Amino acid sequence: MSYDETGVRCTMLRGGTSRGLYFEQHDLPADAGERDDLLLRLMGTPDPRQIDGLGGATTLTSKVAIVSPSAAPDVDVDYLFLQLGVEDATVSELQNCGNILAGVGPFAVERGLVPAGEAETSVRIRMVNSDSVAVATFPTPGGRVEYRGDVEIAGVPGTAAPVVLAFADTEGSATGALLPTGHVRDTVEGIEITCVDNGMPVVLAMAEAFGLTGYESHEQLAADTALLDRVDAFRRKAGQLMGLGDVSRASVPKTVLLAAPADGGQVSTRSFIPVQPHTSIGVLGAVSVVTGMLLPGAVGHELTRDWPRDSSQVDVEHPTGHLLVDVVVDGSRTPPRVVRSGVVRTARKLFDGTAYPR
């Protein structure tokens, strides 16, 4: 019997501001090529509408989490993240996804991979893409995952229960170094940049360097085809500098443009994933942005002058709201080291059942 006839066990969850298909590893083909073919057909890729699959016609809803028990010491489960294309039949494992990560702990408990605590549960998750560890803590009253709660995150309607994510060893997730170029500041096409990788390879630049204010709406950015072409050419050159090679078909690095805060936060961001503008900002993207800005001499470091010194939490503005991240960097060391980083997200189970590929 083939997957076309039997389908495959699948759970769809919203994790943070993304949505993805979650699978146990043993339910998918062992061969990576066969697995990717199945996932593309389940998602409905390639098709800009993904009308014949489970994708939502955006990169934010064309994501996959593959979860399995971990053999690593002091780790509960392994989590492999895959970013699927929408119009192009691509499957990339070059990056993590902190939003989809928010659903991994609840999924692991729902599937019986990790026992639930009586009040809350902490799941240690090895992010296979970067071989780093995150700890997800979420409420499980009475030993069952509780998705309802009063935490609101920008970009998601309503409220839900908190999923607290704490990251460890995310430096150099895809590039092998916190500063992939070996420098705090570089220049690409005459634009000053900082390349940083603390869970997500990111290129920082000031919005004004692209002729922008940094406060444009998602719709304004998406309609500016000349800007998007420029961002694409820019990030390809930055990707080469970061040691990522030809990134023309890769989902990293992300480009994030910075400006002074405009809505009570501490920095305004406009990010691209990797070319189309993001409606908000990715979790690990935001963590990398703040990490980079905290380094003396980095692009955007001047914006940190007014940040409170008694708190490690930074309010990151994006097109649809705010994201609060917690980052501590030891800049006294060479190279600098990340002491800790984390964020609060929410997740919700949307369905659990059998999915059939086209």
Q: Which H or E run includes 99?
A: helix 98-101
> Is residue 179 domain-resident?
no
| E strand residue ranges, 141-246 | 162-168, 186-188, 191-197, 201-206
Q: What is the span of the domain harbouring residue 235?
A: 186-334
Q: Against a cut of 0.85, is the pTM above it? A: no
Long-range contact list for 270-274, CB < 8 A, 24+ apart? 270/207, 270/212, 270/214, 270/216, 270/221, 270/318, 270/319, 271/318, 272/228, 272/231, 272/235, 273/59, 273/60, 274/232, 274/235, 274/247, 274/250
- The pLDDT of residue 38: 98
> Is residue 31 domain-resident?
yes
Instruction: Please tell me whether residues 150 and 220 are part of one structural domain.
Output: no
Instruction: Please tell me whether residues 72 and 123 are part of one structural domain.
Output: yes
3-state secondary structure of 127: strand
- The pLDDT of residue 312: 87
User: Residue 229 in contact with residue 272, Cβ under 8 Å?
Assistant: no
pLDDT tens, the chain, 358 aa long? 699 999 999 999 999 999 999 999 999 999 999 999 999 999 999 999 999 999 999 999 999 999 999 999 999 999 999 999 999 999 999 889 999 999 999 999 999 999 999 999 999 999 999 999 999 999 999 999 999 999 889 889 999 999 999 998 889 999 999 999 999 999 999 999 999 999 999 999 999 999 999 999 999 999 999 999 999 999 999 999 999 999 998 989 999 999 999 999 999 999 999 999 999 999 999 999 999 999 999 999 999 998 988 888 899 999 999 998 999 999 888 889 999 899 989 999 999 999 999 9
How many domains does the chain contain in total? 2
Phi and psi at 320, nearest 5°, equal -115, 15
Instruction: Please tell me whether residues 207 and 127 are part of one structural domain.
Output: no
> Is residue 40 domain-resident?
yes
- The pLDDT of residue 1: 63
The rounded Cα 45 to chain-centroid distance in angstroms is 20
Instruction: Please tell me whether residues 229 and 104 are part of one structural domain.
Output: no
> Is residue 57 domain-resident?
yes
The count of C-alpha atoms lying within 13 angstroms of the C-alpha of 211, restricted to the half-sphere facing its C-beta, is 7
Instruction: Please tell me whether residues 37 and 155 are part of one structural domain.
Output: yes
Residue 297 belongs to domain with CATH number: 3.10.310.10
Instruction: Please tell me whether residues 121 and 190 are part of one structural domain.
Output: no
What's the one-letter identity of residue 354? T
Instruction: Please tell me whether residues 238 and 314 are part of one structural domain.
Output: yes
Spatial distance between the Cα atoms of 317 and 7, rounded to a whole number of angstroms: 41
Instruction: Please tell me whether residues 37 and 158 are part of one structural domain.
Output: yes
> Is residue 269 domain-resident?
yes
- The pLDDT of residue 52: 98
Neighbours of 270 (CB within 10 A): 26
Instruction: Please tell me whether residues 160 and 192 are part of one structural domain.
Output: no
- The pLDDT of residue 334: 84
> Is residue 216 domain-resident?
yes
Instruction: Please tell me whether residues 146 and 193 are part of one structural domain.
Output: no
Instruction: Please tell me whether residues 155 and 126 are part of one structural domain.
Output: yes
What's the one-letter identity of residue 317? E
Instruction: Please tell me whether residues 153 and 198 are part of one structural domain.
Output: no
